[in-house]
Structures are given as C-alpha cells and as structure tokens.
Amino acid sequence: MKKLLSTSAALCFGLALAGSANAYDSTGCGLGSMAWRGQSGIAPQVLAVTTNGTFGNQTFGITFGTSGCDQNGRVSGGTQKMLLSFLENNLDQFAMDAASGNGETLSTVAGIMNMDEKEVASKAYQNFAYLFDSENVDAVDVTLKFYQILKA
Amino acid sequence: MRRFVLIFCFFLCGFKNADDLAFSKGWLALVHYQPAMFGGYTATIGSDDFYLSPVGQRDPKAELAATIELFEAEGQEQKKCLFPARFLFLKKHGLLTKDFPKCEEYEQLKKDLAPSGVTLLFTDAYMNNSSSLFGHTLFRIDTSRKGTQLLAHGINYGAYTRGFEDTPFYAIYGLLGFFKGGLTIKPYYDIINTYNNIENRDIWEYHLDLTDEELDFFVAHIWEIGHTATPYYFLSRNCSYMLAEILDAIKPDLNLASEFKVYTIPLDTVKIVDKSKLVKNTTYRPSRLNKIKHRLKQMNKAQYKAFLQLTKGKKTLLENLEENQKSDVLETAYQYTQYRYVKKDLDLKTYRNKSFMLLSERNKIKAGQTFDELKEGQNPVFSHNSAAIALGAGFENGHAFQEFVLRPAYHSLTDNPKGYLKGAAINFLQTHIRHIDYHDKYVLQDLKVLELASLSPIDRVFAAPSYRLDIDLLRTADLKTKKRGHIFNSEFNMGGTYALSDNFWIYGLAGLEGAYGGFLKNNFSVGTSGILGTLLSFDKFGFEAQIKQTLATDKSATVFEQKAVASYHLSQNINIEAQFKRQAKGSATLNEWRAFIKYFY
C-alpha cells in the first residue's frame, strides 16, 4: 500500500508537466496580447474603423503571436474592420498568397468582402508590387490600398 | 396550455415531473454534476454564480427548481441571460411558460460566431514545452461566414496561470487545483498561427456530427460555462476533461466524462470521442515545418540547390531553372524564411529583406505551384493506447527471472510509431517488478520516473538538437563485487541525429549524470557519458541499439554498456519485444536477455 501511495503522488507530478498542455495559452486575446502589439501606429481614419485602439502599424513579421480580435476575442464588426483585423494578423501569409495569386487568405478576404474568390485572387496577384512596395509595408497601408482596389 | 404541454411531455419525454427530470442524464450533465464518492452528487464547476440554489452544488433537484423559479419570475434579465442552455432544456421539457429575454451580449456572441458546426481539435505533442508533451485539445465553432474557416473561433479550456509560469509554484499549484480554469475564445487564424506556424505542431480537425438543435445548445452552453471559473487540475480536471463534460451536456447519452477515472490525456479524449461515433469526418492541417519538408522532398536536384542558395540571399541558380519549376522553390524558401524568423535564427531586418526579395521574385512568375500539398498525416485515432502493461521473462548471467511492467503513459521509441511524433519518447513512471528464481524474491528492478527523448535528424536545412533525459530509481550492480542495490539516477545527454533514410537513423549524444543512494561509496556519484545509437522505425517493427561509455566518480558506475531493443507490432495495441543488455567493466560482465509481451490499454 505504501508503494501504491508513493506512486500516485509521483504520478501527479509526472502529469503536472503534461496535463497543463494549454496553460501558457490561457490568457486569450484582447488585453493579454495587446502588450505585444505596436501602439505607435497612425489611426487609419480613411477607413474610419474602430478597433478600440488595439492595433498599430503591423508590418511584416510582427504579426506572429498577436490576436487580431476584438477585446472579447472574436471576429467582429463590419467589413472594413474585419478586413483590417484579418490582414493585420495574417499579413505574412497574405503576402505569399498575393504574390502567387492563390491561397486560403485570399478566399477569406473574398468572404469578408462578399466577392468572387477568383476576382480577389487575380487582383491581389496583379497588384502585388503596388500593395507590397517595400519591405517595410504596414498592414494598415496594405489594407487601405487593397480595399480600394477591390472596391474599384 | 401548460397542463397540456406537461401531459404531452409525460408520454414523449418519459419524465413524470420536474423531480424526475432533475436526476435525468441531461440535467445532471448540463449543470455538471458528477456522482460523489459517498453517494449523491458533487458539482465540477467552481463558481458560486453558476448555481442558483444555495445548495445547488450538490442538489440537482433544488437547482432545477431554482432555475424554473428564475425563468418564471419577472425581471432579473441579466441573470436569466447567463443560462440560455438551461432555458432551452427546460423549455423543451415543457417546464417553462415564459420566453427567453432579449440578451444583447449573447446575441452579439452568436452573431460574431455565425456558428455552423463544432470541430474537436487535437494538436500534436510539442517537445520543447514540458506542458505540451501530450498534445492539446480544444473546440472550434465552425463559421457559416463565406470564405474559409480561418474566421471560425477556437474555444479553449485552460488555466489562468499568468505570472506563475516560471516559478516553482507552477507545478504545485497546478496539481492542487489552485489555478482557475476557464474558457477563452480566439479566431481560428490565431490558433493556426500559434500551433501550426509558431510551435510547428500538426492540427487534426475532427468534425462532430451535431444536429442544428444540438449546435444551438452547444453555443448556449459555451456561453454559460464562459462565465465560470473552475479549479484546474493539471492531472485530471484539465483541458481535455472539461471538453468531455461539455460534450456530455450536449449529448447526455455519451457519458464521456465518466471514462476518465484518474487522469486525462488529450489523445485519449480524441479516441473516446471518435469511439462514440460523434466524428463525421477528419481533416488535417500540417505544421509549417511539415509543409516545408513535404515540399523539399518533391524538389529535383537543381531546385534543391537553387533553394539552398536562395536561403543565403542569392538567386543565380534560380534563374537557370525552367519557368514552371521556380514558383515552388520560391514559395518554399519564403516559408523556410518564416520558419527561421520564428525560431529567432533571423533578425527582423534580415527577415523582411529576404521575404520581400522572395515574394517579389515569386510574383514575377506566372506559372503556379506544381508540388502537391501534404494532405494526409497519421491520424492519432489509430495510435496505440497511452497506458501499457507488459509481462516478460529473461536471464541475467544465467539466472532466470520474470518481470511485470506497468507504464501509465505514453510512448517509447520502439513502440508502434503510428500517430505519434516521430523520434519522440515520453514515459512516466514505468515500473519494473522482477521475480528472481534462485532466491525467490520480488524486487523493484527499475522505476523510470521520467524518460524523455527527442531525436530530430539534422540536414542542410534543419538543425535541431537531439536529447535524452532519464530519471530512474533503479536496482544496479557493482560488476566487481557482484553486490546490488538501489540508486536514484538522473542523466541528460544531448547531441545530433542523422537520417540515413526515413526509417533508419543514427545518433550521437554526450552528457552528464548524477546518482544518489546508500549503495554508492560516498552516497553519491557524478559522471559523464557518451552514447552512439541507431533507431529503425517501420510500421510493424521498431529497433534501437546503443553503446554507451560512462565515466563516474564512483567506480561501480564507470561501465561500458551495450543495449538493444527489438519490437514487433502485432496489432495497434500489442507488441512483442526482445531486449538485450550487456555491461562490462574490465573482465567483469553482466548479460541480460529479456522477452516481453506488451499490451496498450
């Protein structure tokens, strides 16, 4: 019996390392992840979006690990806000999809904009050099330009 | 009207009245009651707010009465808005006359989610984080939004551990349930970024077969649970366990939570859900690392060379390629650049610079991708079960023994690799009890408290270190004096692995070890060791052999060891194993043969 007891105590420890699979992932988005985001961005007044001031100028490579959701952690809001949130957080993948004219992020943009997928894809491909005109592009800029292209 | 509904329900639902309904599976699961140890019920949810009756935590009947009372009363809209699933349940059983109030926040949630289904997600083991060794499970509420499921939402049950991650309290608090667990919600693209792209873990999507009514009920119940906090136990009441209770609330006949007795391993949750026939189909989202590897395999020599050159920032070899061979190379190089940036091998400036160059080149090419994408992995549902027992017999220097092995979790390098992370071993508390014939004694031969191994082949593109960690309480022998005794031994070795082919690996490791125990001359020993080994891993057959030299402060611990394990996988859950071990110190040797039959349950 003694052995059994000591075993079960150790078992707890063993799985303590294991069972907490998601512990680090527990803060959700919103306030928890805001700390990681650039706060110095220009307000994209042209788009007149409100994202509770949680976004900055997301450029290439800062998009990892941030949460492009509202403070409740959800995909929310109107077309423009949703498009900005989405591109802000998936800019690196979107860049590749736009460069090749093919990919999941383009289908998603088509969904958000309620447009034909092929049309969105071909517009992204043809305007890639305009959308990504330097290695320091920022997500607000890309969103703005792409929104105008899609609406044109 | 109410009477009519009640009579109607008497025939249809089989519940005479509210009293019977209070002890029905549906109500018990919805309010998260589990049978208490000494009869009666006890509630899983830790928030007082979740119970409307003062005795609601242990009295399903009082709670049901209190819930009816709430919904039949005037006002109290805010409180009513917290329990949409209870409302649906009681309304369905004809116990409520009033309508559900208008709840703006709840309506907004449903609008944002735009639910179209529920998917159970399983993410692979992550060897770089001790808390993710066993993988992870979470829900996805699929979206009916046009486009893709990137705009769906992940629903994660986790512990609020902020500020404690790197402290010694982390494990202790987790064990004793001091952390609170709760649901968090995130867009699915965020989940993909975390698991697929940052941690390089595959995601399995198990699409659940729910009716529209059940889907509504699921969302309503998620809302209810979303407002609660519950003590989180790393071992038992963890991420996976709560998912099972939530599914039980939606489909009470499943009884999933009752399958977990002592501990809950995410992979087991997936299997139990699969067994319950709740999964209508399964899809697979490979990690970025696996996507890159799959593309590299499809490259011809010229493409591979151009790829290697591109990763160094040059493109002369790319220009020599046929037009339709270029885009795959550029896209793979871009993915690889992302992979390296996340690994912190590249700084931000270099990363942007390379990305911009690669994508601008890619955009110039009209021809699309010709490589196929990685569509299939090995579904974890078909992996061997996580606990194992083994029975065996053998000889040690000619003396016969029998051995019983118990392993609560999880996977060895020579076990059936199907559905497990390749080259990774995780074992907890593997206990070997041995009966030795010639003096008819039972001994604890080995208690492997923890065994971790991560072998990852190094090539020109990927270079992750390999390591082994062993913590044992083991019965050891002094080869010179023939004495035996128990020591507590820890070893950590690190090095590299090279793949001769997909299934044939060799590795070299070196490291340190420390031992403690009265058996040793000064009660302790420290030493250093070097290991050379090989691992063969096939669908039906696994083989590992290694030689190891140890130099230690205690003379008895300085030995040369040869070891081999061969395992034949008779079926998903049965192995036959043969093991050989030889230890040598000068002319003194110890030879041990063992054969086992191992059953995973």
Domain boundaries of chain A, sorted by first residue: 2-151
Distance CA B580, CA B592 (A): 6
What is residue B595's predicted lDDT score, i.e. its pLDDT?
A: 97
Which residues 191-230 of B are in CB contact (within 8 Å) with A? 193-194, 197-198
Q: Give the C-alpha distances (Å, rounded to integers) separating A10 from B135, B406, B410, B443.
A: 21, 14, 15, 19
Sequence-distant (6+) residues with CB within 8 A of B187 are A29, A67, A68, A69, A73, A74, A75, A89, B150, B151, B152, B153, B154
Distance from CA of B445 to the nearest CA of A (A): 14
Query: B528 and B424 share a domain?
Result: yes
Query: B229 and B304 share a domain?
Result: no
User: Taking each helix axis from N to C terminus, what angle separates B84-92 and B212-226, rounded to the nearest 10 degrees?
Assistant: 140
- Interval B497-520 mean pLDDT: 95
Instruction: Say if B139 falls within a structural domain.
Output: yes
Minimum CA–CA partner of B334 in chain A:
A96
Minimum CA–CA partner of A3 in chain B:
B444
Hey, of A75, A109, A117, A123, which one would you mutate to test binding to chain B, going by the most B CBs within 10 A of its CB?
Answer: A75
The answer to whether A24 contacts B131, with C-beta atoms less than 8 Å apart, is yes
Instruction: Say if B467 falls within a structural domain.
Output: yes
Partners of A112 on chain B (C-beta within 8 Å) are 145, 147, 151
Burial of B444 (0-12, 13-18, 19+ CB in 10 A): middle
Sequence-distant (6+) residues with CB within 8 A of B435 are B401, B402, B403, B441, B442
The string of pLDDT tens digits covering residues B371-380 is 988 888 889 9
Residue B543 Cα to chain centre, angstroms: 25
Instruction: Say if B208 falls within a structural domain.
Output: yes
Query: B329 and B344 share a domain?
Result: yes
Instruction: Report how many Cβ contacts below 8 Å link chain A to chain B.
Output: 241
Query: B138 and B220 share a domain?
Result: yes
Q: Does residue B141 have a pLDDT over 60? A: yes
The string of pLDDT tens digits covering residues B212-237 is 999 999 999 999 998 888 887 777 77
Q: Does residue B164 have a pLDDT over 80? A: no
Q: Which of A10, A20, A72 sits opposite B238 (nearest CB)?
A: A20
The string of pLDDT tens digits covering residues B405-445 is 999 988 999 999 998 888 999 898 999 999 999 999 999 99
Domain edge (last residue) among B46, B78, B102: B102
Q: What is the identity of the amino acid at B236?
A: S
Domain edge (last residue) among B102, B121, B149: B102
Beta strands at B409-411 and B441-454: parallel, antiparallel or unpaired: unpaired
**How many structural domains is chain B composed of?**
4
Q: What is the ipTM of this complex?
A: 0.85
Query: B493 and B401 share a domain?
Result: yes
The answer to whether B369 contacts A102, with C-beta atoms less than 8 Å apart, is yes
Instruction: Say if B369 falls within a structural domain.
Output: no
Instruction: Say if B263 falls within a structural domain.
Output: yes
The answer to whether A134 contacts B186, with C-beta atoms less than 8 Å apart, is no
The answer to whether A61 contacts B351, with C-beta atoms less than 8 Å apart, is yes
Which residues 230-259 of B are in CB contact (within 8 Å) with A? 233-236, 238-240
Picking from A125, A108, A61, A119, the residue whose alpha carbon sits closest to that of residue B359 is A125
**Buried residues in B280-307 as b, exposed as e (16+ CB within 10 A):** eebeebbbbbbbbbbbbeebeeebbbbb
Query: B316 and B266 share a domain?
Result: no
What is residue A3's predicted lDDT score, i.e. its pLDDT?
A: 33
pLDDT category at B591 given cuts 50, 70, 90 is very high
Burial of B146 (0-12, 13-18, 19+ CB in 10 A): middle
Partners of A12 on chain B (C-beta within 8 Å) are 175, 234-235
What is residue A23's predicted lDDT score, i.e. its pLDDT?
A: 32
Instruction: Say if B24 falls within a structural domain.
Output: yes
To which H or E segment does residue B307 belong? helix B301-311
- Interval A127-135 mean pLDDT: 92
Domain edge (last residue) among B102, B130, B152: B102
The answer to whether A95 contacts B359, with C-beta atoms less than 8 Å apart, is yes
What is residue B343's predicted lDDT score, i.e. its pLDDT?
A: 84
The answer to whether A61 contacts B113, with C-beta atoms less than 8 Å apart, is no
Overall pTM surpassing 0.90 (yes/no):
no
Instruction: Say if B45 falls within a structural domain.
Output: yes
Instruction: Say if B352 falls within a structural domain.
Output: yes
The string of pLDDT tens digits covering residues A86-123 is 888 888 899 999 999 999 999 999 999 999 999 999 99
Query: B135 and B210 share a domain?
Result: yes
Partners of A21 on chain B (C-beta within 8 Å) are 131-132, 134-137, 238-240, 266
pLDDT category at A60 given cuts 50, 70, 90 is very low
Question: What are the strands of the beta sheet with B230-232, ordered from one edge?
Answer: B230-232, B179-187, B153-159, B136-143, B115-123, B203-208, B279-285
Query: B434 and B572 share a domain?
Result: yes
Distance CA A8, CA B120 (A): 30
Does any CB of chain B come closer than 8 Å to the CB of residue A18? yes
Picking from B343, B312, B311, B349, the residue whose alpha carbon sits closest to that of residue A135 is B349
CATH number at residue B522: 2.40.160.40
The string of pLDDT tens digits covering residues B113-138 is 999 999 999 998 877 666 677 888 99
The string of pLDDT tens digits covering residues B19-63 is 789 999 999 999 999 988 888 999 889 888 899 999 999 999 999
Other Cβ atoms closer than 10 A to B112:
23
To which H or E segment does residue B579 belong? strand B574-585
Sequence-distant (6+) residues with CB within 8 A of B119 are B139, B140, B142, B152, B205, B206, B207, B208
Q: What is the DSSP string of B349-364?
A: HHHHHHHHHHHHHHHH
Distance CA B477, CA B497 (A): 31
Domain membership of residue B28 as a residue range: 2-102
Please tell me which residue, A141 or B506, carries the higher pLDDT value: B506
CB B177 within 8 A of CB B232: yes
What is chain A's mean pLDDT, rounded? 62
Query: For residue B552, what are its two tokens?
Result: 């230690």
Query: B339 and B418 share a domain?
Result: no
Query: B271 and B345 share a domain?
Result: no
- Interval B472-484 mean pLDDT: 91
Query: B399 and B524 share a domain?
Result: yes
The string of pLDDT tens digits covering residues B315-344 is 999 999 998 899 999 999 999 999 998 888
Q: Which of B134, B147, B236 sits opposite A112 (nearest CB)?
A: B147
Picking from B545, B526, B528, the residue whose alpha carbon sits closest to that of residue B536 is B545
Q: Does residue B160 have a pLDDT over 80? A: no
Beta strands at B560-571 and B574-585: parallel, antiparallel or unpaired: antiparallel
Query: B90 and B236 share a domain?
Result: no
Which residues 332-371 of B are in CB contact (within 8 Å) with A? 334-335, 338, 341-342, 348, 351-353, 355-356, 359-360, 362-363, 368-369
The answer to whether B409 contacts A90, with C-beta atoms less than 8 Å apart, is no
